[in-house]
């Protein structure tokens, strides 16, 4: 059998009876998978991974089989083709990998407990039961689960339980669905439930380590999201319930299992009395994302993993469409502009990046295509571009048609474009193919040449790029009628600039609204014209100017020194997204400086000047009736002021700390991380460090935990840093799901960089064994590359990672990161002096 053949071509399951008996004490799984389906050939293959198979029967007769671990398969020889019932008995170990069926650990009053849950995407259903583990192999499932059950424990799954017999829990048969979306969980849980207008039961489930009120926010958002989607898609939610479950150990952010969505606790549970707005927004968008998938992904599923973007890009756009509709005051698209848009623009500028649509076969490669900046952020940005071309009416009617045509089945990108094309009359596929099939994006240069306003497109690179003359079909969204709606040429003259400027009465702009995936390089004349009227620009336009300039500087098309003098004027803005974008540039400038150098002092003075007036205006504590912008920008402004060592800001933080000494969790959540970090930084001691570490282990509030983690990792004491690193492999203190965050924070601390980097190199094998089967693994390399920017580190990075370049799933990441670090080293070397001069003289 050729390796590239999908198993579904050999055997097409229609129904599974799955019996699984799980024993937590012995850490074993014992099961029987009975699959009814249509055998297309005599020799078929069923997926398995890490399973011990004891017998295989087909239509009641024992048949020959062999385990083929290289292909994660059981090879089976049938007596005949056609309708066949295959029964497979197996056992497997229950392991702590956060994949397949796995335990999550938590404590109640010091007593250790377990909650068993599942994570099957992308290819881990085969670790739980033998199956044709491919998205196209949709079937119905009847689950029967037994476990070493204790009083007070409950079990939930995709569908409602229908009866219990001899300790076995039987669940209603599912609708036709893909294996990677099957889910169940059991243990001691609390839950809260409500019902949508259309009668769908909504529930939130969590361990009893949490306060009951922590479930309320998610319950409300989940209910209103399902109601929103039923209306927006004009397609009913097809299952009787939608359960949301928080798992204490969870590798990804959340997982859209049909009817039983699983989450990291941080994204589902929050204290309604003390949680920052930004944390609430994050949780709400994650919930809305997973619930968008219940239709887009679950009801209609991509045919194969190459169209993963169909699922993820779409859900990533819809999370904002949904939250914008149900919480309009949040202006959630602004969050899109400071998170998804820059993430996509940053990574997509590095040569060697994957395209959104990408060919993939090997399971290790499938996991590696879950690149959050590309498949999620860039894909969402492309769909936002489509949405603004089509308008919502055509989008909705196209989607309804798409769901009607493909529900309970699979689809490809082409199917979506044709549905949207029918609804809008536009050739959507033609425009989108240039964006989906090609990696990267263009920079559009706008200049006045011999009096003529001229635009041209060229691929934009940060670092070395091999320009092969790619061209895009660019929705220009210009404010001048002379510019075409879609720009397809390499170069175009729009007309006499003076005349165009006079008749328009406003400066020339491209990509108004920042919804198209390109950046603009205006010549000085055009840029100054825009900046002269910057008080007339809305906040997204201001953000866009800063963001494009930053990228152009990273791509060495302009100098960073040119941006520095612009920052003070944007520092006055009361928009949180302009403020966030400005401080992001300030963060980049820090890379030009050696820690504790005289230059760093100038820089701190500069940052203090940028933040001073806003600190005075905002203060530490929220004011009654303050704007959402003020709430959201306060932490960034205070953080800058603390970095600059503003004495008043430090004293104020210490005062807040002292006032709340009896219960630090009560400090307002938005400023809590800053107060604790400042305390550690300016008044820290070994005792304080120990105290924070204890609090970290005790609390079950994820946002408080994050604040403590930030404070602990900000210590400048190398003995204490060693203590942190000693806990990296201790899952009782630092959960594997949180390790990357800890690692990043220590690496990002100049006093911890050497130790964290040493730890990574010494423990690479351990990391591979622990999180290697998981899509998070490669992101450890991404984290390192995002921080390193010196020639010494580049050399060490090369020495360590180049020998690993052929590891499946790592190749692309290592190549891109070598290029990325190299580009930073070169940029800093060539511009260091002019940037420092600009900082010294900026007013």
Q: Verify binding: residue 775, Zn ion, rule CB under 5 A.
A: no
Interactions with Zn ion, residue window 310-369 (CB under 5 A): 312, 315
Active-site position among 72, 290, 319, 753: 290
- From residue 112, give the alpha-carbon distance in Å to each of 116, 283, 421, 725: 13, 27, 55, 24
Q: How far apart are the first and last CA of the chain?
A: 71
Q: Is 290 a catalytic residue?
A: yes
Residues annotated within a binding site for Zn(2+): 289, 293, 312
Q: How far is the CB of 224 from Zn ion (least distance, A)?
A: 19
Minimum CB–partner distance for residue 6 and Zn ion (Å): 23
CB of 379 to Zn ion, least distance (A): 11
150, burial (CB in 10 Å: exposed 0-12, middle 13-18, buried 19+):
exposed
Q: Do 384 and 515 form a contact (C-beta atoms < 8 A)?
A: yes
Q: 3-state DSSP call for residue 632? A: helix
Rg (CA), the chain: 28
Tokens linked to 749: 């601390």
The conformation of residue 442, written as its DSSP 8-state character, comes to E
3: helix, strand or coil:
coil
SS3 assignment for 253-304: CEECCCCEEEEEHHHCCCCCCCCCHHHHHHHHHHHHHHHHHCCECCCEEECC
Q: Nearest CA to 214 among 286, 134, 270, 131?
A: 270
The contact mask relative to Zn ion for 256-295 (x = CB under 5 A, - = no) is ----------------------------------------
Nearer to Zn ion, 143 or 322 (CB): 322
Side-chain-side CA neighbours of residue 51 (13 Å): 35
Q: How far is the CB of 314 from Zn ion (least distance, A)?
A: 9
Nearest residue to Zn ion on Cβ basis: 315
Subset of 292-321 contacting Zn ion (CB under 5 A): 312, 315
| Nearest residue (CB) to Zn ion, 266 versus 315 | 315
| For Zn ion, the closer CB: 315 or 545 | 315
**Cβ-based neighbours of 98, under 8 Å, separated by 6 or more:** 119, 249, 250, 251, 736, 737, 771, 774
Q: In angstroms, what is the minimal distance from the CB of 295 to Zn ion? A: 12
Burial 55-70, CB ≥16 within 10 A → b, else e: ebebeeeebebeeeee
- 484 CB-contact burial (10 Å; exposed 0-12 / middle 13-18 / buried 19+): middle
- Min. distance of Cβ 529 from Zn ion in angstroms? 42
Our CB check for Zn ion shows the closer of 358 and 680 to be 358
Query: 3-state SS string over 112-134?
Result: EEEEEEEECCCCCHHHHCCECCC
- Applying the rule CB under 5 A, the residues between 30 and 89 that interact with Zn ion are none
Rounded to the nearest 10°, the torsion over CA 204, 160, 312, 783 is: 50
- Minimum distance between the CB of residue 316 and Zn ion, rounded to whole angstroms? 7
Binding site, by residue number, is 289, 293, 312
Nearer to Zn ion, 219 or 310 (CB): 310
Which of 299, 78, 292 has its CA nearest to residue 175? 299
Residues 218-257: x/- map of binding to Zn ion (CB under 5 A)? Answer: ----------------------------------------
Phi and psi at 186, nearest 5°, equal: -150, 160
Residues 131, 127: Cα–Cα separation, whole Å: 9
The CA distance from 31 to 51, in Å, is 10
Site for Zn ion in 492-531 (CB under 5 A): none
- Which is nearer to Zn ion, 16 or 233 (by Cβ)? 233
Nearer to Zn ion, 242 or 649 (CB): 242
Q: How many residues interact with Zn ion (rule CB under 5 A)? A: 2
| Cβ distance to Zn ion smaller for residue 610 or 775 | 775
Q: How far is the CB of 347 from Zn ion (least distance, A)?
A: 18
- Binding site residues, Zn ion, CB under 5 A: 312, 315
Could you give the residue numbers annotated as active site? 290
């Amino acid at each position: 059998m050729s390796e590239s053949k999908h198993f579904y071509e050999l055997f097409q399951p229609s129904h599974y009876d799955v019996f699984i008996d799980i024993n937590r004490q012995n850490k074993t799984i014992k099961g029987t998978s009975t699959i009814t389906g249509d055998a297309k050939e005599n020799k078929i293959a069923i997926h398995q991974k890490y399973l011990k198979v004891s017998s295989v029967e087909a239509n009641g007769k024992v048949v020959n089989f062999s385990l083929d671990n290289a292909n994660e398969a059981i090879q089976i020889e049938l007596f005949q083709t056609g309708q066949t019932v295959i029964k497979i008995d197996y056992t497997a170990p229950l392991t702590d990998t956060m994949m397949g069926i796995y335990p999550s650990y938590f404590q109640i009053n010091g007593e250790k407990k377990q909650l068993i849950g599942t994570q099957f995407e992308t290819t881990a259903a085969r670790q739980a039961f033998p199956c044709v583990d491919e998205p196209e192999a949709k079937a119905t499932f009847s689950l029967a689960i037994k476990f070493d059950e204790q009083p007070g424990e409950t079990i939930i799954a995709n569908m409602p339980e229908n009866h219990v017999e001899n300790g076995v829990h039987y669940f209603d048969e599912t609708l036709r669905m893909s294996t990677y979306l099957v889910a169940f969980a059991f243990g001691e849980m609390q839950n809260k439930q409500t019902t949508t207008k259309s009668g769908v039961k909504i529930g939130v489930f969590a361990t009893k380590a949490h306060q009951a009120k922590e479930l309320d926010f998610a319950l409300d958002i989940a209910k209103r999201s399902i109601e929103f989607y039923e209306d927006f898609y004009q397609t009913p939610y097809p299952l009787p319930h939608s359960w949301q479950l928080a798992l204490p150990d969870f590798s990804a952010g959340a997982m859209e299992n049909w009817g039983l969505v699983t989450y990291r606790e941080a994204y589902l549970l929050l204290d309604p009395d003390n949680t920052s707005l930004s944390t609430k927004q994050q949780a709400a968008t994650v919930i809305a994302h997973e619930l968008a998938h219940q239709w887009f992904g679950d009801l209609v599923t991509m045919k194969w993993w190459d169209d993963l973007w169909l699922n993820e890009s779409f859900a990533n756009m819809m999370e904002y469409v949904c939250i914008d509709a149900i919480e309009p005051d949040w202006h959630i698209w602004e969050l899109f502009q400071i998170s998804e848009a820059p993430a996509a623009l940053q990574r997509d500028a590095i040569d060697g990046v994957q395209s959104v649509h990408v060919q993939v076969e090997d399971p290790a490669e499938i996991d590696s295509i879950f690149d959050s900046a590309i498949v999620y952020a860039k894909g969402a940005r492309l769909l936002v571009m489509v949405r603004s071309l089509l308008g919502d009416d055509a989008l909705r009617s196209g989607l309804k048609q798409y769901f009607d045509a493909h529900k309970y089945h699979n689809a490809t990108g082409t199917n979506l474009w044709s549905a949207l094309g029918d609804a809008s009359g536009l050739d959507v596929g033609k425009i989108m193919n240039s964006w989906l099939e090609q990696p990267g994006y263009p920079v559009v240069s706008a200049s006045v040449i011999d009096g003529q306003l001229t635009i041209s497109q060229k691929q934009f690179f940060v670092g070395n790029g091999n320009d092969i003359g790619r061209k895009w079909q660019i929705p220009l969204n210009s404010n001048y009628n002379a510019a075409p709606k879609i720009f397809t040429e390499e170069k175009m003259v729009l007309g006499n600039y003076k005349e165009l400027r006079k008749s328009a009465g406003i400066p020339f702009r491209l990509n108004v609204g920042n919804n198209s995936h390109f950046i603009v390089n205006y010549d000085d004349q055009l840029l100054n014209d825009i900046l002269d009227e910057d008080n007339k620009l809305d906040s997204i336009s201001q953000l866009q100017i800063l963001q494009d300039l930053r990228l152009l500087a990273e791509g060495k098309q302009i100098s960073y020194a040119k941006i520095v003098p612009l920052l003070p004027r944007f520092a006055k803005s009361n928009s949180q997204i302009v403020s966030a974008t400005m401080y992001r540039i300030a963060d980049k400038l820090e890379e030009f400086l050696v820690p504790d150098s005289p230059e760093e002092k100038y820089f701190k003075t500069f940052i203090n000047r940028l933040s001073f007036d806003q600190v005075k205006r905002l203060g530490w504590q929220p004011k009654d009736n303050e704007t959402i912008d003020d709430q959201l920008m306060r932490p960034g402004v205070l953080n800058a002021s603390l970095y600059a060592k503003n004495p008043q800001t430090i004293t104020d933080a210490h005062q807040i700390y002292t006032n709340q000494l009896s219960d630090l969790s009560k400090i307002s959540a938005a400023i809590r991380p800053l107060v604790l970090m400042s305390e550690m930084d300016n008044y820290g001691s070994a005792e304080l460090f120990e105290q924070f570490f204890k609090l970290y282990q005790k609390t079950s509030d994820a946002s408080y935990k994050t604040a403590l983690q930030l404070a602990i990792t900000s210590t400048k004491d190398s003995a204490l840093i060693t203590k942190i690193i000693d806990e990296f492999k201790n899952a009782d203190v630092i959960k594997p799901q949180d390790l990357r965050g800890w690692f990043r924070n220590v690496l990002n601390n100049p006093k911890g960089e050497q130790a964290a980097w040493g730890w990574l190199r010494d423990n690479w094998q351990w990391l591979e064994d622990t999180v290697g089967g998981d899509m998070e693994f490669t992101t450890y390399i991404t984290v390192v590359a995002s921080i390193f920017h010196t020639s010494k580190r580049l050399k060490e990075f090369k020495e360590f990672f180049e020998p690993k370049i052929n590891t499946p799933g790592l190749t692309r990441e290592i190549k891109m990161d070598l290029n990325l670090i190299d580009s930073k080293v070169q940029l800093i070397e060539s511009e260091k002096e002019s940037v420092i001069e600009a900082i010294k003289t900026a007013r």
